[in-house]
Amino acid sequence: MKISREAHLTCLFFREILKSMKEALAILPAPDDDKNQEALRNARDKFVTEWGAMGSMWGISRTMAQVHALLLVSPQALTTDEIMEELKISRGNAHANLRELVGWGLIRGVIRKGERKEYFEAEKDVWRMFCMIARERKRREIEPVVKVLRECGETTKSLEGPEAREFNQQIAALRQLVEIADTAMDRLSKAQESAIVPWLMRF
C-alpha cells in the first residue's frame, strides 16, 4: 500500500506511541515462571507508571492512562474496587476515568452471571487500540478545528480590505494544513496493520 505524503504530518505521533508501547511491554518478564512473581509485579507497576506518564501524548490524563494500563496488563477483568485499590484513587476518580475509557472504546464493561459488581477489561489487540486512539483524537481535536476554520473562512471571504484578505488567506492556509492531517489520520486509522506499521517504523 502506497502512503501519501500528507501522512507524514501524523507519522511522528503514531511512531512515538508505537515506540512507547514496545518499550513499556518489553519490561514485562515471563508471567508463567513462579520465581518471577515479584519481578512481574514490579514490572507491571513500572508499566502502569510509564503508560500514565505517556498519557498526555495521546490526549488523556495520567490517571486515565494508568487505569487503562492496569487493565491492559491484567490477566482478568477487574472491578472498580480492585482498580481503586491498585491505583490508590477515589471511587469518583475511578468511575470518571472508566467512563472516559469506555467512551474511547479502549475498555468495556463485563457482566458476570450471579454478580452485582461490574467488571472491566481492556481491548488487548494493540492495532485495534492504536486505531481507536487515532479515531478518537481525530474526532475530539482535529474535526472541531476544521469546523472553526471553515466557519471563519466563510464569514470573512466576502470582506474587503487588505487586512481582511490577509486574514482570510491565513485561515485558508491553516484549514488546508489541518484537513491534510485529518485525511492522513483517517487513512491511518482505517488501514491494514501489515501495510502501515512497517512504514511507520522506518521514521
Q: What is the pLDDT of residue 122?
A: 94
Q: N- to C-terminal Cα distance for the chain?
A: 17
**What Å distances lie between residue 203 and 18, 83, 155, CA to CA?**
12, 37, 40
pLDDT for the residue numbered 37: 76
Q: pTM of the prediction?
A: 0.68
pLDDT band with cut points at 50, 70 and 90 for residue 2: very low
pLDDT in tens, 164-176: 889 888 988 998 8
- What's the pLDDT at 6? 45
Rounded CA-CA distance 181/138 in Å is 9
Instruction: Give tens-digit pLDDT for 84-127.
Output: 999 999 999 999 999 999 999 899 999 888 888 899 999 988 87
Residue 107 confidence (pLDDT): 94
- Sheet of strand 118-122, all strands in order from the earlier edge strand to the far edge: 78-79, 118-122, 107-111
The more confident residue out of 11 and 78 is 78
**Pick from 10-19, 98-107, 145-154: least confident:** 10-19
Q: How many CB atoms lie within 10 A of CB 14?
A: 23
Structure-model confidence comparison of residues 30 and 160, the more confident one: 160
Q: Kindly state the greatest CA–CA separation across the chain.
A: 76
Q: Is 197 a residue whose pLDDT tops 80?
A: no
Fold for the domain defined by 31-122: Arc Repressor Mutant, subunit A (1.10.10)
